[in-house]
Chain A
Amino acid sequence: MLSLAAVSAGYASFRALFDVSIEVPRGEAVGVIGPNGAGKTTLLRVISGLVPPTSGTMTFEGRAVGGLPAHRMVEQGIAHVPENRRLFPRLTVEDNLRIGAFIPQARARFAQELARVYDLFPRLKDRREQLAGTLSGGEQQMCAIGRALMSGPKLLLMDEPSAGLAPLVVEQVFELVHRIREQGLTVLIVEQNVPQVLDVVDRAYLLEVGSIKLAGTAAELKGNDFIRQSYMGL
């Protein structure tokens, strides 16, 4: 569904990604793991259009999408749940969800999508008039995921969904990922919490210092000694 071939990207002062190639097959869940500063967030930002690639190609459902700005990518069917949630703190929960449905296709289906999201996240429905900045960490994560779902995406990008959350809440979040997949979404997750994410995804990539060091199925990576020692503390 999504494929990156030899993509490089960076910021004004430094390069973050070097010739990265990944494949995300339709209907699957793919993980990207790696240490801090590896470029995982940059990778997602390149896919969602916030950062333009400096070289390489990117195709989504057969169409070349490299270099499209973020608001165009949403129309293509890619939604990005950003690192640290980045909710609009002084908008209500419902307003945050509303803004997720900004693109015309989603606006037309606003009522249905809203109902679906509230179905997935009943706690959000209870708090629909509450200011997003006052929600708990777990609720904010749900709101951020819900906001991304409002655009009716085919591919969902999640940047460290477990960051800053209590273990119990983290479990709930990953449980959610399962349910989202059941609804037919393809998911690409960037995570530092390696054990949990390898349990959820079908395949994964190891990104270190801007390059892909390892790739394989989740089972393969779980059994890999290097991964077990460096990232799973075993």
Chain B
Amino acid sequence: MDIYLLEAIINGVLLGGVLALLALGLNLIFGVIDVVWIAYADLVMCGMYVIYWLYAELGWPLPLACAVAIIGVAGLGVLVHLLLIQPILNSAPINQLLVTGGLLFFLQSFATLLFGTEFRNIGVRLPIIEIGDIFISYARLLAFAVALIGAVALYFFLRRTFIGTAIRAIAQDRDIVGLMGVDQRRIYLVTSAIGGALAGLAACLLSLQYDVHPFIGNTFGPLIFMICVLGGLGNMIGGFIAAFVISQIIAIGGYYTNTELSYVLAFTLFIVLMFVRPRGIFAR
């Protein structure tokens, strides 16, 4: 096999890690609260700016900046739920969709206001690893590993803890959980915080590899949506697998053509798959 193709495949897998993390976050929120945060990718953008600001501008140590970003975006997630979602939980679902659309608009403009439209890089240069004739960026490998750890941690949290079980239960029957002493509102907030934290974690991982600019959310946001719909909205495992499927298509497509065209290819395949299995490949 062509060595560059192999490299592309491997990079596809590594890219899939972070996408899978974001898909988990979006699916978690949708499965529990029944809302899609259209602005989810822009929460990641906020996290990336936090890291840029703290590390590149203020000179804080990188691990600390990352920790603050994760906690910060988690808090942002809670705010999103409290201020935007909770007031309209009982109105038409379309309103919940649109209000996060408004948030997308707001976050992108606010970031432009604060930082301008230039691309900013945090300037961390991690080595390139050479295995045989294949070059793999250490940053990408690290991102993949951390994303996997995050996913596993989430898994154990949901399976083994009381709150995690409550979160899974609410997704299956939200009216009755009150009878077990579960405060629905609190669980929604916890879920929003976790979704935010996952976005914050993704921000850390993406900062190592990419520049940040106010509209970076538009590059991978629709990808995440495609992934989640493909895997079945709300289906955590489906989304996880779909992330790697899509990232492979992009990597291999990008190898044969260019990046934008590979997105188009992914979308076309996505539409074709919708013909075949409209609720997603893995929908229940």
Asked if A and B form a direct contact in the complex, defined as CB atoms under 8 angstroms apart, the reply is yes
* A interface with B by C-beta (< 8 Å): 48-50, 69-71, 74-75, 79-80, 82, 86, 88-91, 95, 98-103, 106-107, 147-148, 151
Show 27 A/B contacts (Cβ-Cβ < 8 Å), sorted by A. A48-B179, A50-B175, A50-B178, A50-B179, A69-B178, A69-B183, A70-B178, A74-B179, A74-B181, A75-B181, A80-B179, A82-B179, A86-B176, A88-B169, A89-B172, A90-B168, A91-B165, A95-B165, A99-B177, A99-B180, A100-B180, A102-B162, A102-B166, A102-B180, A103-B180, A147-B180, A151-B180
Asked if B130 is at the interface of the complex by the 8 Å CB criterion, the answer is: no
Residues of B near A74 (CB, < 8 A) are 178-181
Q: How many A-B contacts at CB < 8 Å in the complex?
A: 64
B interface SS class: helix
- What chain B residues lie within 8 Å of A82 (beta carbons)? 176, 179
Interface residues of B (CB under 8 A from A): 162, 165-166, 168-169, 172-173, 175-184
How distant is B179 from chain A, measured CB to nearest CB, in Å? 5
In the complex with contacts A50-B178, A74-B180, A99-B166 CB distance below 8 A: yes
Question: CA A79 – CA B180 in complex, angstroms?
Answer: 8
Closest A residue to B168 by beta carbon equals: A91
Q: Contacts A70-B179, A82-B179: A88 and B166 contacting too (C-beta < 8 A)?
A: no
A98 lies within 8 A of B162 (CB): yes
Q: Does B172 contact A88, Cβ atoms closer than 8 Å?
A: yes
Distance from A160 Cβ to chain B, minimum over Cβ atoms (Å): 15
Contacts of A147 in B (CB 8 A): 180
A80–B178 Cα gap in the complex (Å)? 10
- Contacts known (A88-B173, A107-B162); A95 close to B178, Cβ less than 8 A: no
